[in-house]
Structure 1
């Protein structure tokens, strides 16, 4: 079932993910120390806000286009047409989102106060177009795309450590963190490493509209997801002080880093399950079942491990680095986020299961509309909970984490209920066909 190609993809992705985490564990405490709570909070507030531009530019193509490419990857002409159709659509969306964000930067007081930071974070929008990671994923060659990213991140890491020395360097920190994906994209366009650049195909305007129309449910899903991920940080920044934003960002970053360990398996299996869903439904169900046990087991283990390790952050940092060490301040900041992380930890398990029931089951079998409806309801639920729980709360970060946990639980239950029906119908159809 999981053949040599898929196993090598998964292994390479985890190897690259490990290297990525080495870089993250260096930069994360370093930036907390150098930028301070206020600077770190302002930077993460800008990152959270600019994600709306990235979401509009991506427009759900990271799911719809991956599925489409995976199903035609043996036909170079069809794959090339999808590539250029999606790329040109993303360029148009990039121009629109950049213009909107530019207007908002100078219109909203909370954004205008950090206008220079917000302007430079638009580099992330450019990078989302320049590096077509969705195309790599459709061909099941994500390890090569990730390899380019790690190479680019390692190249810029030294400059980050050398040049960022205080809160005044927030803009520089933003630029250096956006540079790796841009550099990786430039390298790919000039070399074609990993996946050959497709031949140019002239695309009609009607095809761009068709691509946007087909990806609309996926875009709606992505926007709705942002209402309980990035929007949580944005709402927290509106309702609370930057310190609470920084504490929440520190906790959520650690949890999402842990959850990211499941990402390579999802990225590797999603295009394969999508391909099986067309040609071999029985094989698709077997791979989904395997994903359930592997992702669920890893998610549960990481949730328990994180919860048990939390009390060790402060004494470990002090005993190893000393009370006056700068690096100890980073871990002490994490210790102040312990209560937030206790509420956040189960999100790792819930996220692993939502991938199985949602992306790896509902989407591959064409239930993107139900998928998007669930996420719309979840996003609205999170906004409502944030508006009720966070304002005037002295523990705003904790309330935000509680809101995210409730929303994630709702998503898993809704996805599981429909996925169970779908798999039963498919099994029944397979049995009827075998009779």
Structure 2
């Protein structure tokens, strides 16, 4: 039986993983945006988006379905082995057809054919995602392993970036190194597979058993991938790579913040799937309420702070050349809260209780809204129009999911202290905004303003006795006391 760590340990590991995801671009983005042209960065963004479309088809909804399927049979090695082999075989078969379609696209589409080397390199995402079986490790809640190997490969990518990306025309090399940093570690996943499942073919595979459910998750993933990458693609075709570069910078910052906010719900999916499979409904509801409460407490201040300090963030992470990224970033920041909520409602609540189809419908509605909004706003507003389209899309997704779960809403949000969170965020925002008047450098301004915002926000939550904040604070202090006693006993 696989040893399962506590939710707190998994959450801490996932937060470290998320932090590494933040630190890598934090270090590389200022360098890349200065070495490469805006057009070069835009080309890599567009190529990455298109490669992700094909990778999404090859994965066929497995990343989410596989987590749930493995979590449900994780206590039985034989069942787990058969499940993993069936899903992996299905994945490999589909990827053959995907690569064939990718080849045709490179051959027939002039805009892609002109940068064929870049697009072939980005296509390695497809096979790395398939053989990586990340869904197995998440289903078994092996977040320590996932975190350690991911940090190692990001460090390797960081070194390679500074060694080999030296000139404006090195965007193809940049694309290759980004693959190493993001999915290169998936090769280790495949090698390490024998630790959890038997590699000898078990035979008598039942691919049909998985195919029906996988297709629902695929449709859901397809709609999500399409509308999350649609902006870059439409900007590239309706405008130019330069606008895609501006938009891509704001999207990267937003994506990093979203990964922080969704860190908890990501590690909870296998746990709540396990609860549902064993009829532990009260545990399921308790965890879901706490996850929503956590998202609001974290995402609300993050959203407000980065709207206020978007200019300093863009100038620090990119340069003043990317000034046109500021307004798109401000427009798109509320999606950090929206995605945080829909991630819990859809991934952690609707999927485990068997409402995958409704998650798909919510995402499909968002995708349609995004396409229509992009067609209206991109021609006149460029990158800002794409940001507005994304904001509209994420709002639509949330509205649909709230309608589907309307009988659950009162109970799910019963622990969220909206007034306390909003008041604390508003006062903290006013307090930190005054730092702008000091005319400090971007880095110093961000450091001081974050400290002011965080301190004011935390003190107000403490004064108003916000329950989840007090619980977290108590856990932290309790942990320090335990460590202190252990050190004293060891003397």
Q: TM-score, normalised by structure 1?
A: 0.89
Equivalent in the alignment of 2:50:
49
Q: 1:421 aligned to 2:422?
A: no
Q: CA deviation at 1:181?
A: 5.2
Contact 2:158 2:181 in 1 (8 A): no
Q: What SS is found at the alignment partner of 2:28? A: helix
The aligned residue for residue 371 of structure 1 is 359
Pair 1:228 & 2:214 matched: no
3-state SS in 2 of match to 1:294: helix
Task: Report the counterpart of residue 291 of structure 2 in structure 1.
Answer: 291
Gaps of 5+ in 1: 318-326, 427-435
What per-residue deviation string (whole Å, max 9, x for no partner) do you get for residues 281-336 of structure 1?
1110010000000012211111011112124347x75xxxxxxxxx8xx2314432
Question: In structure 2, how many angstroms separate the alpha carbons of the residues matched to 1:184 and 1:242?
Answer: 29
- Segments of structure 2 that go 5 or more residues without pairing to the other structure are 413-491
Q: Distance in 1 between matches of 2:161 and 2:106?
A: 25
Aligned equivalents of 1:303 and 1:425: distance in 2? 25
Give distance in 1, aligned partners of 2:64 and 2:22.
Answer: 24
Alpha-carbon shift at residue 341 of structure 1 (Å): 0.8
Deviation at 1:84?
Answer: 0.7
SS of 2:6 mapped into structure 1: helix
Aligned match for 2:384, one of 371, 395, 398: 398
Quickly say closer, same or farther: Cα 1:127–1:293, change in 2 above 3 A: same
1:404 & 1:218 partners in 2: Cα distance? 21
Deviation for aligned residue 1:192: 4.8
Instruction: Report how many residues are paired.
Output: 408
1:218 pairs with 2:204: no
Tell me the distance in 2 between the aligned counterparts of 1:268 and 1:247: 32
Q: Deviations over 1:323-362 (max 9, x none)?
A: xxxx8xx231443211111110000000001012111111
Q: Could you state the TM-score of these two structures normalised by the residue count of structure 2?
A: 0.79
Rg larger for:
2
Secondary structure at 1:165 match in 2: coil
Give the structure 2 partner of residue 304 of structure 1. 304
CA positional deviation for 1:425: 11
Q: Tell me the distance in 2 between the aligned counterparts of 1:232 and 1:313.
A: 21
Structure 1 residues 405-424: Cα deviation after superposition (integer angstroms, max 9, x where no partner): 01101111111221232578
1:244 matched to 2:243? The reply is: yes
Q: Does the C-alpha gap of structure 1 residues 247 and 423 become closer, same or farther in structure 2, counting only changes over 3 Å?
A: closer
Q: CA deviation at 1:191?
A: 4.2
RMSD: 2.1
Partner of 2:274: 275
Change (3 A) 1:302 1:181: closer
Q: Distance between the aligned counterparts of 1:175 and 1:228, measured in 2?
A: 25
Q: Could you report, residue by residue, the CA deviation over 1:351-391 in whole angstroms, capped at 9, with x for unpaired residues?
A: 00101211111111000111111211221221122122223
Measure the CA separation in 1 of the matches of 2:171 and 2:263: 30
| Larger RCO (alpha carbons 8 Å, 6+ apart) | 1
